[in-house]
Amino acid sequence: MMEEFMQQILQSNDIYILSSYVATALVLVIMALSSWRSKKKDEKDLRILEKQLSDLSGKQN
Amino acid sequence: MHKFANPARFMRLSKIFLPWFMGLTILLFASGLYYAFFLAPEDYQMGNTYRIIYIHVPAAYMAQFGYGIIAVASAVGFIWKHPLADQAARATAPLGAGFTALALLTGSLWGKPMWGTYWIWDARLTSMLVLFFIYLGYMAVWQTIEDRVKAARIASIVALVGIINVVIIKFSVDWWNTLHQPATLMRLDGPTIGGDMLTALLLMIGAFNMFFITALIWRIQSLILRRRVRAIRMQLGGGQG
Amino acid sequence: MTKVGLKAGARKKRRLYFLLTSITVLGLAVLLVLSALEDSIRLFYDPTEIVEKNIGPGQDFRLGGLVEEESFESRETAGILINHFTVTDGNESVAVTYEGLLPDLFREGQGIVAEGSMNEDGIFVASEVFAKHDETYMPKEVIDSLKKRGEWQRRTAETQQKDNAL
């Protein structure tokens, strides 16, 4: 069943449709993830630094 | 103008709108893909293979939409010296480059079965490849020049000169004979595609566009946060030293 | 205070004008270069131009046009399948032979681009054949019913002529 399906895809132009959609999905996921993760990382950095800053000013007072 | 570009205001507004853009992205992708594969009929010449249009055309549009954002932001940055505009232009570049690569890749996978070749050096394909290199060059300027003010100025000049290439891409299929066909949607006499095929294409363009804006918001938020991080680091460094 | 503001405003205006003039000048320069390079940027020549230019045998170039109706034939010569067809632009036509697999979109009436050179007999020997697709997308069913009623006319010929005119 699966083999038959694969055979059909490879023989027709479906292989081109399939690979172009898979490639698109991959690139979109990479773009979304890299954008979201860099934002998350900067948020974390900022939280740590803000804490350090408030600790420091607390000590000085 | 300056009110709009206020980073704090951007952070506040983007937090409100982001969920809407994300929701729209998912909704448009779901309905667009459903239309593209279940409602849109086979093409009379290309059969099912034409369905690559539903990712190829939106990707190519986003490649140029991204460039439009960079060009406008660069002009604002160059003339009014607004740092946030330069940063927005910088944040857009990787997305634009990604979509340009996608347009080239899906076009190539469409060209092989239909035209008989993955690649040909015609005016449309070549100018699109040039767009990809302009994106890479633009990103390289930001990477290599350390002085931010100088980097912003040179990057904006690169971006503004590159506008000429976007014009060439658009008219390449009209000015020269090419293997690539002329425009289907953006024509003076109306689109040469209709019914469910057109609906599917418009939904997919909408989906790509919402995706682009969602990712761009994350990237601009990241750049704003990074500015704050740098400012605090300097403050801390100054306090300790 | 106002003087400084005025100065900044003048500088902004100067930068704006600088930008507008340089983009315009650069754009015009690029346009001039591109129109000078027209001959090398275009992908193919149509049969009329080839007859006019009288390109000699052995010189590689690309030929573009429509596959003439009822001109396609596949003949086996010495065990090798060779495709014969004529490419036309409605004015002149050029006979083409090609040995190899044709792309899916290849059919009579379709726009194609062929790479190769003329032989001694004035026949274009193609090393590669690409099918051109036009910008129209239409459901199969619509065309089938139009064909049944005899109302279907190919738009390809019209599009091709528009291409040639440009």
- Angle at alpha carbon of residue B91, lines to B88 and B95, rounded to 5°: 130
ipTM confidence score = 0.90
Kindly list the distances between the CA atom of residue B66 and the CA atoms of A4, A50, B93, B172, C124, in Å, as whole numbers in the listed order: 42, 34, 7, 19, 44
Here the CATH number for the domain that contains residue C125 is 2.40.50.140
Give the pLDDT of residue C163: 47
Strands C93-98 and C80-88 turn out to be: antiparallel
- On whether the CB atoms of residues C52 and C103 are closer than 8 A, the answer is no
**pLDDT interval class at B148 (50, 70, 90):** confident
Give the pLDDT of residue B1: 46
Give the pLDDT of residue A6: 66
Look at chain C and report how many structural domains it folds into: 2
In sequence order, the β-bridge partners of residue C61 are C116
Domain around A21: 2-60
A29 touches chain B (CB under 8 A): no
CB spacing of C30 vs B164 below 8 angstroms: yes
Output B113 or C54, whichever has higher pLDDT: B113
B75 touches chain C (CB under 8 A): yes
Give the pLDDT of residue B234: 87
Phi and psi dihedrals of C153, rounded to 5?
A: -125, 140
Instruction: DSSP letter for B147, please.
Output: S
Look at chain A and report how many structural domains it folds into: 1
Instruction: DSSP letter for B180, please.
Output: S
All structural domains of chain B with their residue ranges:
28-38+50-235
Give the pLDDT of residue C164: 45
- pLDDT above 80 for A10: no
Check whether residue C109 and residue C67 sit in a common domain: yes
Distance between CA B161 and CA A48 in Å, rounded? Answer: 41
Check whether residue C76 and residue C132 sit in a common domain: yes
Q: Is residue B11 classed as helix, strand or coil in its secondary structure?
A: helix
The position carrying tokens 């270069």 is C33
Check whether residue C49 and residue C35 sit in a common domain: no
CB spacing of B105 vs A20 below 8 angstroms: yes
> What count of residues does chain C have?
166
Residue of A nearest to B37 (CA): A17
- pLDDT above 60 for C165: no
Strands C124-131 and C93-98 turn out to be: parallel
Residue of C nearest to B81 (CA): C12
Q: Which letter, b or e, does each residue of C82-92 get, where b requires 16 or more Cβ atoms within 10 Å of its Cβ?
A: ebebbbbbeee
Q: Is residue C57 classed as helix, strand or coil in its secondary structure?
A: coil
Q: Give the helix/strand (H/E) hosting C61.
A: strand C61-67
Select from C15, C34, C105 the Cβ nearest to the Cβ of B45: C105
Q: What is the separation of C-alpha C127 from the centre of its chain, rounded to a whole number of angstroms?
A: 17
Select from A19, A27, A49 the Cβ nearest to the Cβ of B232: A49
Domain around C10: 2-40
Question: What's the whole-number average pLDDT of chain B?
Answer: 91
Give the pLDDT of residue C77: 77
For residue A45, list chain B residues with Cβ-Cβ distance below 8 A: 225-226, 229
CB spacing of B176 vs C140 below 8 angstroms: no
Check whether residue C111 and residue C50 sit in a common domain: yes
